[in-house]
Amino acid sequence: MENETSSSMVVIEENKIFQSFLRENINQLIRERQNRPSAREGFCYKRDWYDKMSDNLHLSKDFFLKNINSIWNKTSNLPSIERKVILFCGDKSLNQTVSFYEDLKKEMTEGVKNILV
């Protein structure tokens, strides 16, 4: 069973649709962060997960793909906050990928029904 799960995760990591959704979700995180208002004069924002991941070049699709399998298997050595961010994007991308294929299957089934009628 564990071997089957690992091979399923490798398949999803290599899936172009999953990768596309993952890239889109990472870019959305970056855009949301870049759109926050400037700190008031004399104040500054406290450094957070985004700053740390950005400084270490960890806000990339390749880094997420490299680490998502170990996070899903709960064997990752990354800091907790990085695991949470990668898990959030990975789970969201996985759900979007499943929905994409369900919709595609539904469209194909309806198309075949229309041809047969």
Residues found in the chain: 117
Give the pLDDT confidence score for residue 46 in this predicted structure: 87
| Average model confidence (pLDDT) across the chain | 86
Over residues 87-106, the pLDDT tens digits come to 999 999 999 999 999 999 98
**pLDDT, mean of residues 32-53:** 88
Host domain of residue 107: 2-116
Q: What Cα–Cα distance (Å) separates residue 89 from each residue in 23, 30, 45, 61, 104?
A: 9, 12, 24, 10, 22
**Structural domain count, the chain:** 1
pLDDT score for 48: 87
Q: Is the pLDDT of residue 6 over 60?
A: no
Give the residue among 100, 76, 77 at the shortest CA–CA distance from 19: 100
Give the pLDDT band (50/70/90) at residue 113: low
